[in-house]
Every structure is written in structure tokens, then in C-alpha cells.
Structure 1
Amino acid sequence: MKKKALVLASGALLLFSAAFGQAKLVEKVTKTGSQMVIPYEKYLLPNGLTVIVHEDHSDPVVHVDVTYHVGSAREEIGKSGFAHFFEHMMFQGSDNVADEQHFKIVTESGGTLNGTTNRDRTNYFETVPANQLEKMLWLEADRMGFLLDAVTQKKFEVQRATVKNERGQNYDNRPYGLAFEKISTALYPYGHPYSWLTIGYVEDLDRVNAADLKNFFLRWYGPNNATVTIGGDVKPADAVKLVEKYFGAIPRGPEVKPVTVAPVQLDKTRYTSYVDNYARLPLLFVNYPTVANYHPDMAPLACLAQVLGQGRNSVLYQQLTKKQLALQAGGSSQLSELAGEMSFQIVPYPGKTLADMEKLFRASLDTFEARGVTDEDIAKFKGGIESQLVNGLQSVSGKVSQLAAFETFTGNPNRIAEMLKAYTSVTKEDVMRVYNQYIKGKPAVVLSVLPKGQEKMIAAADNYTIDSAGYKAPDYGYAGLKYNKAKDNFDRKKMPGNGANPVVAVPAFWRKSLANGAKVIGTQNTEVPTVTFSLTIPGGHLAQAGDLKKAGLASLFADMMGEDTKNYTAEQLSVELQKLGSSISVSSNTDGIVYSVQSLKKNFPATMALLQERLFNPKFTEDAFNRIKKQTLEAFKQQKAQPAAVADAVFAKLNYGTDHILGISQDGTEETVNNITLVDIQNYYNNYMTSVDAKVVVVGDITEAEAVPQLAFLDKLPKKKIELAKVNPTPAVDKTKVYLVDVPKAAQSEFRVGYATGLKYDATGDYYKSNLMNFPLGGGFNSRLNLNLREDKGWTYGARAGFSGDEHSGDFEFSSGIKAGATDSALAEVMKEIRNYVANGPSNEEVAFMKSAIGQADARNYETGFQKAAFISRILSYNLPANFVEQQNKILQSMTPAQLKALAQKQLKPEKMNILLVGDKTKIIEGVKKLGYEVVELDADGKKLEGKTF
């Protein structure tokens, strides 16, 4: 019998009766008035599974999130990395889902998917067309209740290798990649759940076996430790019935109690250090222990981090970066479920020690104390928070993720208004209080990251070693675990079919050509009260095609356009924007300078006034120019220590040549940037500001009638035609060679294989068709290249290939980071896959999969403001017909294996490709030479080393 409902002030309805056969309706939250709320219904199944459903029919998509309250904080000493390892294993098939089919089923359904692990939770999620919901729930339930019998030793070994490659790519093979690992071991006591990183240690991964992993699953992956959140074009009653069907019979897991740890307390400042083989400049980290997430001090700590270390007005930027005492200086507050940290990072200019930087950092804190917290600090903090929370609600995935996180960590999904209130109630006194409580005079962990050969740059000698004495491991509850499977009254082996195809509406848009020569396109989207605006003025990188000695000028100009104006300092302009909850950024691309605006609707006119100030009144000062130029030059040096950055830069030179504008980075080089003067910046402004052929894109909660009057300022721009240089023809590759750049001790080899195709972007011609052709080869997780190198061999964290192009040129490129010891074998496999694909083309099954995956993806292509902006921007840039998507779908459905094979033979020339390997020469050269290719050694600038052809 249904009991009386209690209406809460929050707009929630608490009901205590079963709404369906198994699920109990716990509460229903609806939106009333203008309050910030994400409407939902929350249910509880008898097995402990929490279910949350958010109904939103604005787009024909659904987002499914399954969050398990298990992260690295549930791991034990000697077995780190399990939660993340299991994230990988959960994609490897279960009783009723074959190996490597999870990604394939979701992709074929027109969806996208992933999983993430952090200290405190693991989540798995899919965004798919609305008609695919039942299939997604079937998939998620199968790996929750029917996984372990499908976990084989072979799968275990392959995924262990993949995780090692991920660690190599994101930690071991990257400048400063091990910094947080070193900080964690020094900040947290031995055995504390946060004293190791989520990725874990390689030695722990080597130590464990499949039985250990299965026990971890049995302990933590039960339905009573999980939340299923569904959002989008769905009716709650339908969604809950499906959850009952597929999850309801899964047995409850062992009881899971909250992790409890004592607050971190340091008796003195701990100094620690390590030598980094990839860094070119030292780095100082200073970390203070603070509080856990959702603590009352969460909001004032976030404001303090902004005042001290975020943006142009921050104390560290003003005291160190702007004065050119440090190359970079910033800070942030990171709060997790069990503890939190306030972290500061400072990179010195060459020659300065980290001891110098620590003194400057502490002097900056003194400056902050004297300065205090201002009314403007509070106003801009509140404006930014409101904008951030509103923008987070643009997509159904954003809303679902927020609901899932609130439920997992607080038990209350209806927290967003409370969060907004907490942040917007922060006072100056609150911020100074938390500064005094957690930062002023308090001990911290001070980490020195030291490039090889710069060990004397240390802040202070190490004074801390890990103390494991007295540690007693808790009982994690692994004894007596048993694997119990659900008993069903239906055939779970039968994969659900598709529901009725959703109706996909391409965004309606309006176009207008202005008398001043600008072209405008816009679309209205009333889901959230925001406006996204962009203005592209012709110029950019191609403006230097006739003077390569000053390549990078457009990029430097864009940076300077973000500095002082005649009426505002850059800091004052930043304050005004943050008060409004708005942003204005200036960037350079191949053929234009782009002014990008993000604003709440109510503040759009005021934001556009600030855009005009930036556009018409720049003040190009010598101080700003010298600082930006100096930072740019140091960045080039840093990039030479990053194998992926080196690979990208050198590969462009191989494909286009050193005397081709597209062979040079849009940022330029050390040599070309050194040639640029402040006069060049002013000349660029004088020569390349125009309304003619300018492109304007307006998306959001704004009509054409509201938008057009806001564009009157374009009449103030010069009305002149900008003629950009034509791009030189793409140089041909005479034969396939291997080019090698040596990075000693690199854990991985960066691969780049391909050539400049000269194939320009088109929506319905060879470019579009070539990307369809590439899909089975390298265009998705289930592509031949990724399955071979990652899933079958375990040599990489990911491998991809594809065509890219614009109106000027195009490329084909395979890219991956491969573990060093497998470099020669992986190269042989890459070239074999390409040759086989050219010779035989795709299979009938691959073509059917491609058609289904790409054809159904339209349902999720136009959901957010950014997606709509990208769509209509493409129409404007390439003058596409309004029905070009319909034309593409007809082409897609008509493509045959024979046509795709012919395209492969036309566009892929394995005998005429550039192969670039960036890695440890001593580990890879002998194996690569045996493959029969001519091998040419280059330096990090792409220049051939004399006598270095093998």
C-alpha cells in the first residue's frame, strides 16, 4: 500500500513503496522555478543496487553510467593498481559477451564508451542513441554478474602489458610524470590509501596473478557497492524495468563499509627529490595537506587556490611569472573522498635554482598576507563558479556524471544547488581563515624534480624517508569469497535488439552575409542559458608562407592580443570577465585568428563589449612581448624532451619539407621566433584586421534577432580583402624509409607512419569516402591496428590511423606509443596490416560494422553547444548545403567492399610512406635494421645527422 508522500523544500518527493516489481522508489526530484537542479528519480533494488534516472528528451540519446565505489583507496600494500587494472579487464568479455566485443557492440550501436578510475571510484559509461538503452544495460549487467569465468590468464597477461604501456606513456615517458607519485609517498603515511597512485607500481603488477584479481572483483564489484545512473531520452518506468530485468538477480556482494583514515599531519616540512630523464628544466612542487571533499572548507579552499595560483590576477602570476622570475607558477586545490591537498608548482628560468624558487614562493605568500582577499577576488570566484556549474549541464553525460558522483560520495544526488550555495556564500574572512588554518606557517612536502645533470638545482637536501614501522594492514575482507551467479528466468545469452530508431534532427540554423563582408551562421539552443560565439579573421599561419623566417608570428600575435588594452590591463580585463562568468580567448590556426567567447546569456552584451575592447584597443607593450617570447622559446626546449612532441614536429617536416609552411609548427621554431620583433606584431595587426571574409558563429540561448545587433561592431573593422599565399604542392615520397630520432632511456617508441596526401577536406567526395575506408583499418577501438597492437599483443596503450584535411592540404597518419622492446616487431605488424588492407580491402562484416557505427552516431553529434557550433561552423567554412549530412548518409549506405578496396589502393601507398620512430636508439636500431628499410638518423629538430644512414 502506498504511503503518504512527503514534499521536501528541495523539490524532492520521498516515497516508501515499491514502484515496480523489485525496485523501491526512494525519492523523486523535480525542478520548480528557476532553481538549479537536475531532476531525477532514485530507486533501490533488493540486492542493494542504487538506480538513478534523469529524463531529458531534448536529444535522442541516453547516457548510462555504472559507478562502483572502489578505487585505488581500496587496494593494499604490494597490490597497487588493481582498481585500474580491473577497469581494463571489464572490457575483455564476460559469459555472454565475447572477447573484444564490448567496444564493438557499443561502437556498432553508434555510441561511444570508456571507463575511468581514480582514488575513490571506478566508472564505466556509454552514450548511445536512445534506441540502444536495453543493449547497454545488458552489457553492463553481464560484466557485473558474469565476468570471472571469462578472465583467462592470456587476457590477464595482455591487459597487464597494456597497463604497463599506459604507465610508460603517461608517467614514465613524460617530463615530470612521476612527480605526483613521489609527492604521494612523502605526504601520506605508509599504507595510507593515497600513498600510491591509481596506476600502481610496475613491480606490483608483475607480482600479482589472475587469482588475486578475481578476489578483488568479488570483494568490491557487487551491486550493493554500485550505482547505475541513466539519463536522456528515456522514461523512468521503462528504464527501471530494464534494470530490474538485467541487474535484479545478481547476488548482493559482501558488505562494504566506508574507508576511515586519520587526517594527515606533518611534523615538519619534508624535502624530497628525484632525477627526471625527460625534463629540461627543474620543477618545484609544494603540497600542503587540507581536507576531504564536501568538507565545509571545500569552497573557501577553492577560492584561496584561485587567488594564490590561478589566472593573471593570482599572486603567483603577478609576483613570479609576470615579473619573469619564473617561467610558470600556479596552484590548485584537489579534494578527494578521504583527504585533500593544496598544491603549488613553479618552473624556473634556466640558471635559477629551486632553492631560489622556494624563497620566492614564500615571499609571495607574505605578499598575499599583506594584500589580503579583495571584494573583486570574491566576485570573480562566484561568477566563475556559476558559469562552470551551468556549462556542466549542457550534455546528458555531464548531468548523469554529476548525479552519480553525488550519490556515490554523499548518498544524495540532489546536491548541485547546495554546492552552488556553498561556493557563492564564500566570504573574504572564510578565505583568510583557511589560509591561516592550512597554509600559513604549516609544514608541507617540497619536491624537487631535477633534470639529469642539474642535481645541484635542488631546493634542499632530502630529509624524509618512508617509515613502515608499526604499520598494520587492515582486514580487507577477502577470506571466504565465493563467486555466485544470477539465476535468470530469461535467456541472457541473447543480445537485446534495437528499439525504434530515434528521430535525429540536424540543428536548424540561420545564415546571413553582412554588408561589411562578414559571413554569419547561428543556431538557437535553449537547454542552458549560455551563448558560445566565435569570430575568425583571415590570416593565421599561412600569412607567413612568403616569409618562413618569421613563422610563428600569428601565434605570437594571438598571445599578445590577450594582454593589456588601452583602457584595461590584462588583469583588469580578466577580473571583469570572471565577474560575468565569461571567457574570451584568442588563438591562431592555419588560416585565421580566432576570437572565442563563452558567456551566460544574461551577460552576453557586457561580454561582447569587452571583446570589442580587446579587438580594437590592444596595447602591445615591450614587457609583455619579451615575457611571451621568452616563455615561447623555453617551451620549445621543453618540447624537445617530450618524445610525442618531437615526433609531431619532425613528422610534419618529413611530410612537407623544411621550406614548406605546413612543415613548420604554427608556433614556429626557436630560430624563427627569435627573428620576430614587437614591430612585427604591430604590423600584423595593421595588415590583417578586416571584416571581409570574417566568419562568425553564434550558438546558444539566443535568437537571430538578438544576435545580429550584437555584431554591429564588425563595421568598425577595416574592409579589405586579405589574400593568403597558396599552399605549395605536397612533396611526393619516393620510397618508404625509416627516420629515427634518438631519445636515450625512452620507455616507449613514438610511431608516426604516413605521408602528406594533398587530399583536401570535402563533405561528400574522396576525403569523406577515404575516412570511411580507413575506419576498419585504424578508425576505432576495434580497428585492425588497435586490436593487433593493443588487444592481441599488449604492446601499446592505443593505436590509431586516419586522414585529416582542410581546404589547403591533407595527411594520412598512423600514430602510437609502443613499448621500446617491441619497436621492430610492432613496425613489421603495422606495415603488414596496411599492405594486407590495400591488397584485400575490408571484409563484408567490417563494412557492415562501419555503416552501423557511423550511421547511428548522428544521434549524439549535435547535443552540446560546442557540437552544434562545430557543425554549423563546418557549413560556413566550406559552404556546405544544408542537407550535406543526408548526402553523407546516402554515400555511407551505398559503399561496397570493392569500392573501399579501390580507395585503399588509391590512397594508401605502403611502399611510399615516411616512417618516423622517436625512441631509445640503443634498444631499437638493430631490430629495425633487420626489417630491410633504409634507416636515417635525425636530431630532435628533424635535421639529418652526418654519416647516420644505415
Structure 2
Amino acid sequence: MRQSPQIRFPAQIINKFRITAIAASTALLFACSSQETITLPTGVSLVETVTAQQDTLNIPFKKYKLANGLTVILHQDNSDPLVHVDVTYHVGSAREQLGKSGFAHFFEHMMFQGSQNVADEQHFKVVTQSGGDLNGTTNSDRTNYFETVPKNQLEKMLWLESDRMGFLLEAITPEKFEIQRATVKNERGQNVDNRPYGRLNETVNQMIFPREHPYSWPVIGYMSDLDRGTVTDLKEFFSRWYGPNNAVITIGGDIDEAQTLAWVNKYFGSLNAGPAVNNIAKSSVTLSENRYYSFSDNVSLPLLYISFPTVYGMHEDEPALDVLANILGSGPTSLLYKNLVKSGIAVQAGASHPCRELACQMSFYALPNPQQGLSLAKIEQVINDTLVEFEERGVNADDLLKTKVGIETGTIYGLQSVSGKVSNLAHYQTMLGDANYTEQQVARYNKVTKVDVMRVFKKYIQGKGAAILSIVPEGQEALVAKANDFVLPDVSNPAKLAQLDTPIMKNASDFDRSVMPSSPANPQITVPTLWRETFENGIEIIATKNSETPTISLLLSLDGGVLLDSVEKAGLASLTASLMNEGTTVHSKEELSNELAKLGSNISIGAAGRNTYIKVNSLVKNFDATLALMNEMMFKPEFAQDDFNRVKNQLIQGLEQGNKDARSLANNALKQVTYGKDNRFGLADSGTIATVSAITLDDIKGFYQTYFSPAKASLVVVGDIDKAELLIKLASLSTWQGKDYTISGDYNFPEVTPNKLYFVDLPNASQSVIKLSRRAMTYDATGEHFKATLMNYPLGSAFNSRINLNLREDKGYTYGASSYFSAGKTLGRFSAGASVKKEHTYDAMVEIEQELKNYQQHGLTESEVTFMRQAISQNEALSFETPGQKSGFLRQLLQFNLPVNYGEEQSSIINSISIEQLNAIAAQELSKPMQWIVVGDGQVVRPQLQKLDIEVVDLELAK
């Protein structure tokens, strides 16, 4: 159910970081953990105890086994008053049968629809009302469900998870089945069919794997398979794979271990084991020769994707192949970057080696630069030449060093939260049966040699067959790398459907499960201890010491950001910041990237909203060297003409692609309609094609000289460092000099026109994006804006909000719908909307209008007020766990000049605001005029819009 963040190009072509959640030094990470001897409940056996040891790479935990086969892993960490619960089932799309794809993911949806003792839609409501966050994810190999909640809510979470593990089938109805089938179709429409390059991954898998291979079909499934599925099929699938013997429950956080184990045994111990589950046999997939295939899509640039099948997850050659992928296509030091991007042949290029349980793939991608031609045959030739170059170049010492340092830093950052540690333990236990695998995993990569990398290159890549996919803009089929010589399999109607004939799961309970456990008092929340300082040059500093991990994060913000652009050259702030990442007068971009990789550090400069920002993440031991590179990037930018030309062109191509994406078009339309075409607020932060095209290198240099100043700068630091030591290290910032500047506050906004609907035609779009919006109040922490967000919470902010339950769960029009107040120092906005089935565009708009009208006229119910109070107030326990959360809190204090304890006043308001006050706010805010923005397929949507009896204006977006 988790949605991926919106991306400009497909997620699968972005190079992955191969090591996820590897444990770091226990002395630094796990000082808060403890072990105790406990009396085991009947039927529970202790399998393994892992304790924290100096200089040993592990996460301390205890592993237990219940009589029914359920594996239980407990990790104690009392640094924050919260717990994270993860239930992972070793079933993903690879366990599905030919012709019945998508059931694993479908069942993930069904698991949130209530069970025998949990009412329909109540799982989300109970967790949210408990102050928690929750979700579920499905991939090829496993499905997991997880919650993070205040520690006093743990028993309730175990009650919820056990009820759907043992008593879900009793609650499944044909009506729920059909609603979730529609929801899955909407998810596919939103994230696959309506997204540029969205069908890339499933097409490549069809090219590589035989039709009967479980990786040949996508996790989300084929719609034809889902259409023929039945409730009986779903129940058999659950009964086959969702037994406790095929699950791992991992619990981490501020827990009482004996009590937690007793609860686990109470709620899960009596559930019946399911059928035995064996691992799927692993066999290598090879292609004897290249397979070429192509299709057209609603994209602005063609894309070439080359994928070689290699080994499988945890194979002994996997680490060396990962190093090879880094050398070939990871970042500015890679060969593909040099030969394709730096040379100007492509605007993007890279390599990755993603692995799954049964198979891995080495993949290369590139999007050509229109200035040098769009032929994908040329791109293919450069990639082939790059492989020859690598054979001659070989592997150098830095290649291996960067990978090994990356393991260390990725490990530490991945374990800054309890959920990160729990996910790590659950992953290794599920895939390997060994939760304590972190040290061995790191050792695998540390053992990689130059000889290993060259060996795997020759064994799996050089001269081997690959799936070569061309995706081209509609009408430009001549750009493909090579004519198709491969035919995709027909997936619409399998010749024979296998039958499971699995007995339907039945469980009984020896206690009354209909009674939801009560919760003790909320845990005491400790706001981070902070300190402040102001340098003579105007920089305000706010910081807190955080010793849970040996890291430091730094965020330097310069007020103004994109507001300092002129309308004619919108995008200047963003382009200036981007160019500052491209090298200095001392080091080229490639050299900077190499040095940062060896330090395990990250420095990024960007501009968005009201700020230009410099973000730094570093290990404490490498902070001095990282700061030196940050100072160099800040004060000695190269601003080279070639770099400017390349980065500007990349930005323009990204904007071109955005004009093919429904959500990007809708966001741009919303800005333009709300704030005006001739207003900087009315244009995207990155500008438009016309405004970016007008920017010159002299503009960049002038912007930097005028606005890159400490006069309106603020600095937030969270890390394992004392104030005195940090101030010494920041000496270069304290002596930074620059002139003050003004930020214009004179803006003329257009009138709201509720009698008009603004329409953007996107031919052949599979879904419509609808937004109803108006300008609203600016941000405040305890005033009008804050109280309006409380009012809106049951309307459109929570999963169980009226709007989402109506459009998603009741009508099946969308994957998700919401309403929200967004606000900053200068602007505020109220919006409601969704991405919906295009044939139900009008229906969805009517439902949203009706929900707002009912809420405005009749207000909230008492139960909704109670839900809002409990959900928002109890969620505070999750607010300060990670350095990122602490940094966000400190930045909020600085940006809006808030007192440290403003949360106490918010809590008071949450608990004391009356239903009459909330209803008055609803009556006032929701009665104000709003206007519709719709992006969709005109042929299908226009006839529907005529029913609204308002003027439909074809909106011409700023280009």
C-alpha cells in the first residue's frame, strides 16, 4: 500500500545502494540495549541470544520460537518511548501461480479491511488513534505489515496483528473483495499506467524470464489475472501462505521483554500452523543472445534500458557485481557518467545491480540529450564501448574503498531508528533464517578484490545476452536501438490454471478476542535539549547533541530561495544551487564525488520554497574533512560554462518530461491558477522551459554574488558533538561576509473564480488528477492555521478520513484522496483532491464537493473529535526519534521563531478545543470560494465536465 515518492524518471533506473541496514559498532549504536533472564511461557522456546559486544557488528536481540512455528525476535532499545512491530510473511508475488498474479499484493490490501474482531476500516483507525504510523509493503519475495506506536500501545498492536493472522477470512466479503480489486487497479493506473516509463520494469522482466518463472509477472499483477480471481482463490492463497510458521514477528523499542513475550504467546500461540513452506529452488537465468523490444509511451525523451541476468540474492558473486555496477554507473565518478552525461550525449545515465531472492540483474540506462541526437542505437554503442573501456581500465583501489565506506555509513544511517533495526532483523531472518547476519554481510563486501570484480564482469556481462528495451515518444518509433526480435508473451489468458485445493484456515481462541486491550497512560515525552548561538555576521545557530549514532547532520538555510527570482527568469535560484554541486576551483565534480564517497559523507546544495540550503551528513570521525569540502563548494564554485550548459539542459529536459506527467501538470496548474501566471509563486520552483532557457551564466554569477550571504542565514546541527567543539569547527562560517538583501513582499494574486473550472488536456491519460483549492492562511503554531488543521484531520488528513473512505473504500474511484492545509511564512493554501479513474472524474468531483458541504454544514461528530485528539496528541511520542526528526523540529523553531515548548500549548489546544469551535472553523473555512483544476484525457473527461454547469476554461500553462 505504500506509495513511492513522485520521481522524474522511473525509480528502477536509479542506482540502488546495495547494503541496507547493516549493523555498526555496538558501542556507539546500542548502548541503550539490555538483556535479562526471563521465565518462558509454556510452548515457547529460546532459540538464540545475541548480545552487544565491543567491536562486533551486530544488533542485540533474542529469538524465540512458538509451538506453531512462529518466529519471534525481540530487540530492546529504551532511547525513545516507542515500539516498532513488524510481521513479515515469506510470501510475495513469486509464490503466486501462473495466471493468478497480483494476489500477494491484493492480499496486502485485504489485510487492512478488518478481521473477525476488528471492524471494517478499523485497523487504520485503531493504530492512528493510538498515535501510531502503519503500512504494509509487498515485493517479489515477502509481504510485511508494520506499526510504530507509543510504547503503551504495544499490546493493542499485537491484538490487531494476531486477529488478522488468525481470523481474517471470517471478515472477507464479496463487497470488500470488489472494493479492493478496484483499489489495486487504481494503484496500477496511478503508479504504472499513468506514469511516464511506468511499464519499464514489468516489460524487462517479461523479456528476461520465461513465462512460468515467478519473476516474469509484476508484483501488482496483470489486470486480466485480477479480473478472473475469486473470493475462494483469495481465501486459499491466505490459507496456504499466511500461517504463523511462515511468519516472523519482530518487535523493537522500549519494551518489557518478559511482558512482550507473554503477550505474543497469548495472542499468537494458539493459532494453527499452516501448510509447510519450503524455499523456492534457485537457478540461474541466462540469455544466449540479446533480445530487443520497444514500445512507445507518453514521454518526452526516449530511454534505453539494458539488463543482464546475473546471479541471485546472497550468491557469493553478488558483492563483486555490486562493486562492478558502482564503477560502471554510480555517480559522477562512474564510466557511464563520464562517457554519456559529461560528454553531453545523454542527460541521465547509470547502472544498478538490484537483487531479489531468486535472481539479480545488472542494468544500464540512459536518456539521450536532444542537442546531440535522440538515436538509442548511438546510446547502445557508447554503453558497449564503455564495457570495453572498463576491461582495459580495470579496478582501482578507490573503487573498493568507496564500496566499503559506503557499507559503514549506510549501516549507521539505516539504524538511526528502531524501525530500521527491526527491518534489518526481519529481513535476514526471513530470507536466510539468520537474523544475526549483519557482520557476515559486511564481511562479504570487505572481501571483494580487484580480481573478483574482473572475474564477474567476464562471467556475467562480457559477451553475454541482455534484454535491451527501447521506450520512445509516440510517433518516434524510428529512434529505437534495433527492430524488435522478441515478442512479449500473451498474459491475457493462461492455458491452464493450477488449483491449490488448500483447506481454508480455521482458528479458535481460548479467550475473548472481541475485547480490545486497554492502554496505560501515555509515555512522558522529552523534547530535545538544545542550545543557540548567533554569529556576528548574522547566522543564527540552533543545535542539539545526539549521541545515539556517531553522525552529524548540518542544514544551512539562506532565506529567500526561489522568491528571489524574477518571473522572467524563474528557476534562477534552483539552477544556481544545482551548479554549485558541479565542482569548485579546486576540485572537479568527479573529484568531489570521489572524496565524499571515501569519507562516507554527503553534501548537497539546492533551492526550494523560501530557502537555498546546504545539507551535510557525515560520520563524526570525518566531519573536519567534510566541512572543508563544504566550505570549498560554498565559497569557491567553479561556475564553468560547460557545466552550466549541461545542467541547464538537464533541467529543461526534466521540465519537458514533467509536461507528460499528470501530477506534475496538476501541480503547475494549481500554482498558476491560485497565484497567477505573472507571479513568481505561480510558477514551479524550478521555473518553466522558457524562463530557464532565458538564464545565462552571468545571471548565475550575479545571483550568487548578491544572495549567497550570511545576512539571512540559519544553521541547524544535530549530532554527536559538544557545543564548544562544534563552534570551533564552524569558524569559517563565523567569518563569512556578505551584504544584506531584501525579499519582495508585494504580490498581486488573482481572484478566486468558483464559477470556472480550469482544464488541462493530457491525451490518453489513464487517470484524471482533480484538485479543488483556494488560498488560505499562513503558518502559525497555535493559532488559526493550527486549529484549521485539527478541524480538517477527520475530513481529509487521516486514512480513515471522510474523503478517503468515500472515494477509495466506498466508491473505488481512487488509490487515495485527501484534503489539507499547507502553509509557510508567506503563503497558505487549502486543497482537496485525488488521482481518479478517468471515467469517474465527474463522480469523484461531486463526492468531494458533497463531503465538504456536509462537513461545512453539519461539522464533526463527537467520535471524530475524540479520534482527532487521541491520534494527534499520542503521535508526539514518535516525533523526536531520529536525527532527521530532531533537525526538523529545530528548523521549525528557527524559521517561525517559536518557543521550545510550543508543543505544550498545542497539546493544550488539542485537548481543550470544543466541537463547537471546530464546527465554527469548518463552517467558515469550507464556505469560502474554491476553484477546480482538472488534468485528464479530454476525449473522456470533457463530456463529464459539462454536467457541472460551470464554465470550463482550457488552461494554457506557462511553458
TM-score (norm 1): 0.95
Shift of 1:473: 11
Aligned match of 1:427: 449
Shift of 1:807: 0.7
Amino acid at match of 2:684: S
Aligned match of 2:375: 353
Amino acid at match of 2:339: Q
Aligned match of 1:368: 390
Shift of 1:467: 6.8
Amino acid at match of 1:783: S
Shift of 1:476: 7.7
**Structure 1's 15 and 614: CA in aligned 2 closer, same or farther, altered over 3 A?**
closer
Amino acid at match of 2:802: R
1:778-927 matches, cutoff 5 A: 778-909=796-927, 912-927=929-944
Amino acid at match of 1:684: F
1:524-535 matches, cutoff 5 A: 524-535=545-556
Shift of 1:503: 1.3
For structure 1, the 5+ residue unaligned runs are 1-9, 944-950
SS at match of 2:219: coil
Post-superposition Cα deviations, 1:36-73, rounded to whole Å, max 9, x if no partner, equal 21110000000000000000000000000000000000
For structure 2, the 5+ residue unaligned runs are 1-25, 28-32
Q: Are residues 1:673 and 2:700 paired? A: no
SS at match of 1:565: coil
Aligned match of 1:298: 318
CA distance in 2, matches of 1:343, 1:806: 41
**Runs of 4+ that moved beyond 6 A:** 10-18, 471-477
Amino acid at match of 1:138: W
Aligned match of 2:341: 321
Shift of 1:415: 1.1
Shift of 1:591: 2.5
Shift of 1:831: 0.5
Q: Are residues 1:592 and 2:614 paired? A: no
Aligned match of 1:460: 482
Shift of 1:806: 0.8
Give the alignment partner of residue 620 of structure 1, picking from 623, 639, 647.
639
Conserved 8 A contact 1:17-1:24? no
Amino acid at match of 1:917: V
CA distance in 1, matches of 2:266, 2:228: 39
Aligned residues: 926
Percent identity of paired positions between Structure 1 and Structure 2: 48
CA distance in 1, matches of 2:689, 2:490: 48
Post-superposition Cα deviations, 1:653-687, rounded to whole Å, max 9, x if no partner, equal 00000111110111011111111100011111111
SS at match of 1:595: strand
SS at match of 1:430: helix
**Structure 1's 209 and 937: CA in aligned 2 closer, same or farther, altered over 3 A?**
same
Amino acid at match of 1:658: K
Amino acid at match of 2:842: D
Aligned match of 2:18: none
SS at match of 2:717: strand
Q: Are residues 1:629 and 2:651 paired? A: no
Conserved 8 A contact 1:796-1:816? yes
1:193-592 matches, cutoff 5 A: 193-276=214-297, 278-350=298-370, 351-465=373-487, 478-488=500-510, 490-544=511-565, 547-592=566-611
Conserved 8 A contact 1:15-1:25? no
**Structure 1's 936 and 70: CA in aligned 2 closer, same or farther, altered over 3 A?**
same
CA distance in 2, matches of 1:510, 1:429: 51
Post-superposition Cα deviations, 1:752-810, rounded to whole Å, max 9, x if no partner, equal 111122x1111111111111111011111001100000011111010111011111111
**Structure 1's 426 and 97: CA in aligned 2 closer, same or farther, altered over 3 A?**
same
CA distance in 1, matches of 2:152, 2:414: 25
Decide which moves more: 219-228 or 692-701.
Answer: 692-701
- Give RMSD over aligned pairs: 2.1
Post-superposition Cα deviations, 1:300-342, rounded to whole Å, max 9, x if no partner, equal 1111111111100111111000111011111111110011111
Shift of 1:110: 0.2
Conserved 8 A contact 1:64-1:228? yes
SS at match of 1:511: strand
CA distance in 2, matches of 1:414, 1:451: 48
Conserved 8 A contact 1:731-1:756? no
SS at match of 1:671: helix
Give the alignment partner of residue 749 of structure 1, picking from 768, 779, 788.
768
Amino acid at match of 1:607: T
**Structure 1's 734 and 744: CA in aligned 2 closer, same or farther, altered over 3 A?**
closer
Amino acid at match of 1:325: I
Conserved 8 A contact 1:30-1:39? yes
Aligned match of 1:932: 949
Post-superposition Cα deviations, 1:414-433, rounded to whole Å, max 9, x if no partner, equal 11122122223322222212
CA distance in 2, matches of 1:48, 1:14: 24
SS at match of 1:123: strand
Amino acid at match of 1:435: F
CA distance in 2, matches of 1:15, 1:220: 34
CA distance in 2, matches of 1:727, 1:128: 45
Aligned match of 1:84: 105
Shift of 1:475: 11
Decide which moves more: 213-222 or 689-698.
Answer: 689-698
Shift of 1:477: 8.0
CA distance in 2, matches of 1:430, 1:15: 44
Aligned match of 1:7: none
CA distance in 2, matches of 1:610, 1:480: 61
TM-score (norm 2): 0.94
Q: Are residues 1:40 and 2:40 paired? A: no
Aligned match of 1:946: none
1:13-92 matches, cutoff 5 A: 19-92=40-113
Conserved 8 A contact 1:16-1:24? no
Conserved 8 A contact 1:54-1:232? yes
Aligned match of 2:168: 147
CA distance in 1, matches of 2:355, 2:723: 43
Post-superposition Cα deviations, 1:561-584, rounded to whole Å, max 9, x if no partner, equal 001101111111111111110000
Shift of 1:487: 2.9
Conserved 8 A contact 1:13-1:28? no
Shift of 1:84: 0.1
Conserved 8 A contact 1:135-1:497? yes
Shift of 1:730: 4.2
CA distance in 2, matches of 1:323, 1:176: 24
Post-superposition Cα deviations, 1:681-730, rounded to whole Å, max 9, x if no partner, equal 11111111222231000002112122111211113422422211115154
1:80-119 matches, cutoff 5 A: 80-119=101-140
Amino acid at match of 2:513: R
CA distance in 1, matches of 2:915, 2:347: 54
Post-superposition Cα deviations, 1:822-858, rounded to whole Å, max 9, x if no partner, equal 1110000001111111111111110110000000000
Conserved 8 A contact 1:191-1:473? no
Decide which moves more: 766-775 or 345-354.
Answer: 345-354
Conserved 8 A contact 2:537-2:735? no
Shift of 1:17: 12
**Structure 1's 136 and 809: CA in aligned 2 closer, same or farther, altered over 3 A?**
same
**Structure 1's 475 and 829: CA in aligned 2 closer, same or farther, altered over 3 A?**
closer
**Structure 1's 17 and 901: CA in aligned 2 closer, same or farther, altered over 3 A?**
closer
SS at match of 1:331: strand
Aligned match of 1:606: 625
SS at match of 2:948: coil
